[in-house]
Amino acid sequence: MALEKYNEKRDFNKTKEPKGVKKSSKDKLRFVVQKHAASRLHYDFRLEIDGVLVSWAVPKGPSSNPSDKRLAVQTEDHPMDYIDFEGTIPKGEYGGGTVMVWDIGTYHAEGSTTLAEDKRVLRKQLKEGSIKVTLEGKKLKGSWHIVRMKGENRQWLLMKAKDDYANQKEFEGNSVLSGLDFKGIEKTDAVWGETKRPGDDKTVSKRTSSKNKSTAKEDTSTVGFTASDLEDAVKLTKFPYDWRPQLATLADEAFDNEEWLFETKFDGYRALAQIKENDVQLISRNGISFNAKYPAIVEALKTINKDMILDGEVVAEDAKGKSNFQWLQHLEDFPDKGKLKFYVFDILYFAGFDLRQLELLDRKKILKALLPKHKSIIYSDHVIGNGIKAFEDIKKKNGEGIIAKKATSKYHDGKRTKDWLKIKTDQQQEMVIGGFTDPKGSRKGLGALLCGYYKNGDFHYSGKVGTGFTEAILDDLRKKLAKIERKTAPFIKPPKMSGIYWVKPELVAQIKFSEFTETGSMRHPVYLGLRDDKKASEVTIEEPKIEAETIANKSKSGSKPSKKSTTKKGSDKVEFTNLDKLFWPDLKITKGDVINYYDAVADYIMPYLKDRPQSLRRTPDGIKSEGFFQKDVAGKVPKWIKTRKIKSDSKEESIEYLLCQDKDTLLFMANWGCIELNPWSSRVGSLNNPDYIIFDIDPKDAPMKNVIATALKVKEILDQLKVPAYIKTSGGNGLHVFIPVKPKYTYNQTRNFSHLVSQMVHRDLPKITSLERMPAKRKGKVYLDFLQNGKGKTMASIYSLRPREGATISVPLDWDEVNNKLDLKKFNLKTITKRLEEKGDLWKDFFSDAVDLKEVLKGMG
């Protein structure tokens, strides 16, 4: 069918549906299932074929049960711009009713490997009336068939093929774009649809009701975001009330870099606005409610009619737009001086979607489109690249400073990261009040505050603050301090002066000063106000941890930041991202360094990875985060990566494991944040039969000399059995001894052999070794962990980096290196290259030395 029929049926002056224009996707074919509440509720199943959406109306909707054959009536072709159309078609118009994007994604013809082949096969299948496709949607996945009924022209059957995605539970009913149900879509009267505008990409535009057409016209020409902007967002089932703000690291000075954006640093209270069904919770960075303190901001936020979480700063501004923290702190004393505002610079959650994994510029694009115009709720704008000018402009206005943010950065709630940097125009610091002095002259209340900070658990004195007070503030402070007076000084080295009153170090003050003196006291300090959004025990001296020179002009191309930082790095298939991200901040080792390392050692490590299922340990934020293990990669990795479905021992369903078959896959894993590599001990084709036995020599709290003695005892016993023994560092505090074996014995059999040898070691070294699993029963002893020999159990591969301090590596050793001079920390990313040049691959004969366990056991008998 042609798009002429689509266009003929619609009056585009009345409906917001897109006009029919033929176009094609560039990379993958797309599909959509739209739930349509017209005269009768039905589902519209649409596949991109030859630049249009070939469409079928499915009255009962898709079923994941292969035995269900759902009637699908072919309708007119729809334009590609219809693929993410969501909204209400006016009554009386063709298809009048509400349209929901129930599912959306990409697809390919079954068995096809290229886009060109997809197009050719689908064109043929459509003509023949039998379409077989593999869907990769948010809800619908796997193989689906659409077959024309015999003797019919328009009536087809939609069926789920038998595969791992068959017989799923009921599908979630709401929109995959907005998270809304029909009532929510109708209530907001929003239209999510692709419209081309000069200077813009295809956008999802926010359109208001017909009662406000002029505003709608203005909105669609100035703001918007694409449906594809939400593709990496994660759908949540519950509203996340426990998220906390991401924090910035102090940098020494401003810088220019096209990969960074720069915002105003506000002098107020950081806050998250949690908006759910018109209920607003305004909370501090520590989870304290600001609702009672700033009710005007709460009321203003209630004008937002969609669920979302906004990140911003509550400020009190003067007539020139300069924020004043003291006015904010004592709002009741300055009711007419400052205007209360909430500047919003980020969005974390929208209509059921977790946006934290989206890149910053994409989040800000969505935020700008969704944030209503309000005198008290203001979008915090930014500039890209020109940080020095932004800083100088703020300085001229006597502002507090700027915040620099990496444009491609994700949002890490509750963490202080180096993707966000703060650059201040003057010194400001939270200080804890530890005492005060008597007032002098005509002053009332108190003379000066005695302040301090924590360092290594001790409370250090940082000087006295005697300016910045009004009479009302002095009176209020004295009342608060009187309630927490104590007899002894809280400081580790208290100041010596007369007329001092000591207090419990509980109150946190914001102090501005010019610099620290050589003795560690603040010079020219000024009191700005009390902070109730930070615990006293968290107050330390904030020193610059980033030198701007290391970032300035790092992007030599001068181009704007892009979504992907692509480079060959030994692979034509992998798109590398965030290569400058610090994985070891103290050592200045980046994600790019990790990728370069695995690129360099691929030939050494691949024999121990190929054909083995990988239990992926992902630490995409480097060693400062715990990371997570991921086994199932179904639908999450590119098609060119080999995978293997393996039935879980504890569950009925299968897990799709990644197989690292080549360097491209190895580098993909590194780019995915796999600092550490954890392969199985067995290979595809003999998964129940490992080809090596492991002796994990785990020291816990035992001294290193005992670890050495234990390893040498293992070697001694294996030598007696005429069994080859290979040793490597664990990359942590222990050692691993491996025996290569022929893959003809089960995990139980190899584990029993490891247990037998471990018992012999323990027999000879009973005072320093243990076979006890419970740590409490083996304190101070070396643990011989023979249980590592089990199906699905993994440990760090040879040549694997470890996400630990020092960037240590699991490195093969010569047995003559195993002595009391052995220093495990010296085997790391900075020393590995020289070691490989000097030693080569010490395990190069490993698999050719494989022994037959049966023959070994005969020798023991």
In angstroms, the Cα distances linking 483 to 365, 486, 562 are 48, 9, 55
Predicted confidence at residue 163, as pLDDT, reads: 86
**Average pLDDT of span 619-625:** 87
Supply 72's token pair: 């699908």
**Average pLDDT of span 633-656:** 80
CATH number at 427-538:
2.40.50.140
CATH topology of domain 247-424: D-amino Acid Aminotransferase; Chain A, domain 1 (3.30.470)
Going through 330-382 in order, the beta strands assigned E by DSSP cover: 339-350, 353-354, 377-379
Whether 18 has a pLDDT exceeding 70, the answer reads: yes
What does the alpha-carbon distance between residue 383 and residue 364 come to, in Å, rounded to a whole number? 12
In angstroms, the Cα distances linking 852 to 693, 727, 750, 855, 859 are 12, 19, 11, 5, 11
List the domain boundaries for the chain.
Answer: 3-204, 247-424, 427-538, 582-671, 692-860
Whether 203 has a pLDDT exceeding 80, the answer reads: no
Supply 687's token pair: 């998964």
Contact criterion met (CB below 8 Å) for 325 and 360: no
Whether 520 has a pLDDT exceeding 80, the answer reads: no
| Centroid of chain to Cα 607 | 31
Supply 668's token pair: 């993909």
Predicted confidence at residue 210, as pLDDT, reads: 34
**Average pLDDT of span 378-403:** 89
pLDDT band at 258 (very low <50, low <70, confident <90, very high): confident
Contact criterion met (CB below 8 Å) for 86 and 192: yes
Q: Is 427-538 in the same CATH topology as 247-424?
A: no
Whether 634 has a pLDDT exceeding 90, the answer reads: no
Pairing of strands 247-250, 416-424: parallel
CA neighbor of 839 nearest in space, from 855, 857, 827: 827
The owner of tokens 């029919």 is 20
Query: In terms of pLDDT, which residue wins out, 792 or 436?
Result: 436
Whether 482 has a pLDDT exceeding 60, the answer reads: yes
DSSP-assigned states of every residue in 781-792: SEEEEGGG-STT
Beta-carbon contacts of 14 under 8 Å, excluding residues fewer than 6 positions away, are 90, 93
What does the alpha-carbon distance between residue 457 and residue 452 come to, in Å, rounded to a whole number? 12
CA neighbor of 78 nearest in space, from 68, 89, 62: 89
- What are the backbone angles phi and psi of residue 44, rounded to the nearest 5°? -105, 115
What does the alpha-carbon distance between residue 43 and residue 72 come to, in Å, rounded to a whole number? 9
Predicted confidence at residue 209, as pLDDT, reads: 34
pLDDT band at 227 (very low <50, low <70, confident <90, very high): low
DSSP-assigned states of every residue in 816-840: GG-STT--GGGSBTTTHHHHHHHH-
Predicted confidence at residue 264, as pLDDT, reads: 93
What does the alpha-carbon distance between residue 689 and residue 36 come to, in Å, rounded to a whole number? 53
In angstroms, the Cα distances linking 700 to 94, 706, 751, 767 are 73, 11, 22, 15
Predicted confidence at residue 861, as pLDDT, reads: 59
Predicted confidence at residue 552, as pLDDT, reads: 63
Query: Mean pLDDT score of the chain, rounded to an integer?
Result: 85
CB atoms within 10 A of CB 5: 12
Supply 545's token pair: 């941890």
Supply 531's token pair: 């902070």
Whether 72 has a pLDDT exceeding 90, the answer reads: yes
| Centroid of chain to Cα 648 | 27
What does the alpha-carbon distance between residue 161 and residue 144 come to, in Å, rounded to a whole number? 5
Whether 566 has a pLDDT exceeding 50, the answer reads: no
Whether 434 has a pLDDT exceeding 80, the answer reads: yes
User: What's the pLDDT tens digit per position in 269-279?
Assistant: 999 999 998 89
Predicted confidence at residue 147, as pLDDT, reads: 95
Angle at 136 between CA 135 and CA 138, to 5 degrees: 120
Whether 425 has a pLDDT exceeding 70, the answer reads: yes
Supply 44's token pair: 């519209």
**Average pLDDT of span 581-607:** 92
CATH 3.90.920.10, domain 692-860, yes or no: yes
H/E stretch holding 388 reads helix 387-396
List, in sequence order, every residue forming a beta bridge with 36; answer none if it has no partner. Answer: 42, 99
Whether 377 has a pLDDT exceeding 90, the answer reads: yes
DSSP-assigned states of every residue in 173-219: -S-TTT---HHHHHHHT--B-EE--TT--SEE-----GGGHHHHHHH
pLDDT band at 400 (very low <50, low <70, confident <90, very high): confident
What does the alpha-carbon distance between residue 709 and residue 818 come to, in Å, rounded to a whole number? 9
CA neighbor of 730 nearest in space, from 768, 658, 655, 676: 676
Contact criterion met (CB below 8 Å) for 102 and 62: no
Predicted confidence at residue 451, as pLDDT, reads: 96
DSSP-assigned states of every residue in 14-68: T--SPP------SSSEEEEEEEEESSSEEEEEEEEETTEEEEEEETT---S-TT-
Contact criterion met (CB below 8 Å) for 225 and 233: no
Torsion of CA 63, 64, 69, 75, to 10 degrees: 50
Predicted confidence at residue 561, as pLDDT, reads: 35
Q: Classify 31 in phi/psi space as left (phi over 0), alpha (psi -120 to 50) or beta.
A: beta
Whether 543 has a pLDDT exceeding 60, the answer reads: yes
Predicted confidence at residue 213, as pLDDT, reads: 31
Supply 272's token pair: 């998250």
Angle at 137 between CA 136 and CA 140, to 5 degrees: 95
Predicted confidence at residue 333, as pLDDT, reads: 62
Contact criterion met (CB below 8 Å) for 315 and 282: no
What does the alpha-carbon distance between residue 350 and residue 275 come to, in Å, rounded to a whole number? 9
In angstroms, the Cα distances linking 659 to 136, 572, 679, 741, 859 are 21, 19, 9, 21, 37
CA neighbor of 531 nearest in space, from 480, 472, 487: 480
Terminal Cα distance for the chain, rounded: 80
Least confident span in 328-337, 570-579, 723-732: 328-337
Predicted confidence at residue 545, as pLDDT, reads: 66
**Average pLDDT of span 122-147:** 93
Whether 853 has a pLDDT exceeding 60, the answer reads: yes
pLDDT band at 562 (very low <50, low <70, confident <90, very high): very low
Q: What percent of the chain shows pLDDT beyond 70?
A: 89
Whether 472 has a pLDDT exceeding 80, the answer reads: yes
DSSP-assigned states of every residue in 560-619: PP-S-----TT-SS-----TT-EEEGGGTEEHHHHHHHHHHTHHHHGGGTTTSEE-EEE-
What does the alpha-carbon distance between residue 389 and residue 255 come to, in Å, rounded to a whole number? 9
Predicted confidence at residue 329, as pLDDT, reads: 72
Predicted confidence at residue 673, as pLDDT, reads: 92
Query: In terms of pLDDT, which residue wins out, 286 or 818?
Result: 818
Supply 703's token pair: 């001294």
pLDDT band at 182 (very low <50, low <70, confident <90, very high): confident
pLDDT band at 225 (very low <50, low <70, confident <90, very high): low
User: What's the pLDDT tens digit per position in 292-348?
Assistant: 889 999 999 998 988 999 999 999 887 777 777 777 776 666 566 678 999 999 999
What does the alpha-carbon distance between residue 372 and residue 273 come to, in Å, rounded to a whole number? 14
Contact criterion met (CB below 8 Å) for 32 and 83: yes
List, in sequence order, every residue forming a beta bridge with 51; answer none if it has no partner. Answer: none
Rg (CA), the chain: 33
What does the alpha-carbon distance between residue 328 and residue 387 come to, in Å, rounded to a whole number? 28
Whether 232 has a pLDDT exceeding 80, the answer reads: no
Predicted confidence at residue 99, as pLDDT, reads: 93
User: What's the pLDDT tens digit per position in 731-785?
Assistant: 988 999 999 999 999 999 999 999 999 999 999 999 999 888 777 777 888 888 8
